Structure 1
């Protein structure tokens, strides 16, 4: 976040930064810091935390590194609902964000209904099918969008921090302050289920608790998409990277920090390091995540061993 705010095409010294945030107006610099750089860094960190925790919960609870919200269709469901709200209903701002949350929950419910109580691999397959259907919905509405709506729709296809503002940050901060503590309290179920179904049952872990934990993860992914669009592969990457850094053990704090670092770092690269073109952050995270997904599939590391 320090690099994102202070460096880049317009650099800011540390003393000037503290003068700006304390209320001193520096012509040019105050606007760039308070309305562009700092909001994007803060929103990127919060969105990264939401996606990182959601991905870690999905992967650990379902014991499959492919079972992240952006792979099994939750994020794309949010995008499809948002695009339909923009083009089909003419909604904007908070109406679109609410539609995105509803779409994510609906996609998660559909995946759960199709997969039933079967093994995790069937849930992943159901998610891929739902994701394909949601992509068709997005493409249909995109072809019907006028020029202005098409620009808005692009944000909901790739994920972007270009529209970061303090009102969105405030709402997201409040929602995360409510969801994250509850998720942390329920995380014991996640740690137990990683040991295997039989041992989890013997320790008294109930399936309803796991369903509640997955519902919280779905909400976290949904609010992340509602704030910045479906930033690709952040939820997918955060858990494995955090586990590697933490000796193979899943921690929500580690996944949250990795998710924040991935989004903020990718946004800095998209804005400052790619030839002067301000790409959406989802373009960079997609470039990072797609090879990792292919590597997991090619090496057969799509199912985790029970301890």
Structure 2
């Protein structure tokens, strides 16, 4: 019996490793395409020279100043959204629970817009996005608690709040000066076009710290997957750990939103794609992060190249794919 269990576990580990490796290969391929192609053509040798610091000024500017930061930002933002979605879906035990569905993305966008349109138009939107996301968490939890805590009520409260905050975001745009409103509107679509090296540093530090926070409570997180009663029996302080994970996921969402604006679908679909590809019983955190990073990078490359020289905001593309994904989930649920 033990040998059979060992073989099953070994096959699962092999499948998990192969799935991660293949996903990384797809992401690496998309990164190469993103760096080499575009309106400015650069050969692999010219890109290599730019990376080594020996290329001409124009190639160096395009590769190191524009394309590499955009690729790195797509990977980090996708990983952040994948992790956030994995946390939400595990805690809610619902494949439709994600930051963009339950209102946290909209709350982060509202906080950032308030900062951009009413307080400091030239400042970074990151503090506003973090504060907006955390306040949204607090409001959703209060609404759900006042109605009697349940996962379904929490999700419904988040959806209602997301609709309200979307209206607030539209109102803020109508009250902002024309130039600020134009820039904010483009940001609200979800775009990586203006990503800089400083944004990549901010993302790397923030996502790294928050990922460590999830790793600290990883054992408790896995216990929660087995059910609340089982987690309590294993000594998990369920309320504290759940609140801690929700705050971490909200901060991950706020970090991603601050740089690229609200990007839908990735946090929703990446954990489910990772679970199916790896064959895991629960939602795998590492695979969700890798899948989210790859999905967003591939989507951004397609958004840049599909209608070139016109570039589509990546948030619009992921929104279209996300709508089709939701239809598929509903149809599959009926069957």
TM-score by shorter chain over 0.5: yes
Aligned to 1:246: 278
Task: Tell me the secondary structure at the aligned position of residue 88 of structure 1.
Answer: helix
The one of 244, 255, 261 aligned to 2:288 = 255
Aligned to 2:156: 125
Question: Quick one: distance in 1 between partners of 2:181 and 2:263?
Answer: 18
TM-score normalised by L of structure 1: 0.92
RMSD across aligned positions (CA): 1.7
Task: Tell me the secondary structure at the aligned position of residue 131 of structure 1.
Answer: helix
Question: Quick one: distance in 2 between partners of 1:8 and 1:229?
Answer: 23
Deviation for aligned residue 1:275: 4.6
Aligned to 1:109: 138
For the pair 1:205 / 2:236, whether they are aligned, the reply is yes
Question: Quick one: distance in 1 between partners of 2:57 and 2:272?
Answer: 44
Aligned to 1:74: 104
Deviation for aligned residue 1:291: 1.5
Deviation for aligned residue 1:298: 4.2
Aligned to 2:189: 158
Deviation for aligned residue 1:68: 0.7
Question: Quick one: distance in 2 between partners of 1:41 and 1:17?
Answer: 14
Question: Quick one: distance in 2 between partners of 1:187 and 1:6?
Answer: 38
Aligned to 1:34: 64
Deviation for aligned residue 1:185: 2.4
For the pair 1:183 / 2:207, whether they are aligned, the reply is no
CA deviation profile, 1:130-158 (whole Å, cap 9, x unmatched): 10110111111112223211222113422
The answer on whether the counterparts of 1:57 and 1:217 sit within 8 Å (CA) in structure 2 is yes
The answer on whether the counterparts of 1:83 and 1:156 sit within 8 Å (CA) in structure 2 is no
The answer on whether the counterparts of 2:121 and 2:180 sit within 8 Å (CA) in structure 1 is no
* Of 174-183 and 25-34, the range deviating more from structure 2: 25-34
For the pair 1:285 / 2:322, whether they are aligned, the reply is no
Aligned to 1:91: 121
CA deviation profile, 1:197-226 (whole Å, cap 9, x unmatched): 222222222221121112111111111111
Task: Tell me the secondary structure at the aligned position of residue 217 of structure 2.
Answer: helix
Structure having the higher Rg? 2
Deviation for aligned residue 1:177: 2.1
Question: Quick one: distance in 2 between partners of 1:188 and 1:6?
Answer: 42
Aligned to 1:304: none
For the pair 1:147 / 2:163, whether they are aligned, the reply is no
Give the count of matched residue pairs.
300
For structure 1, the residue ranges without an aligned partner over 5 or more in a row are: 302-307
Question: Quick one: distance in 2 between partners of 1:128 and 1:115?
Answer: 12
Aligned to 2:26: none
Aligned to 1:231: 263
For structure 2, the residue ranges without an aligned partner over 5 or more in a row are: 1-30
CA deviation profile, 1:78-133 (whole Å, cap 9, x unmatched): 11122222222243332x22111100111111111111152211111000111011
Deviation for aligned residue 1:46: 0.8
The answer on whether the counterparts of 2:107 and 2:129 sit within 8 Å (CA) in structure 1 is yes
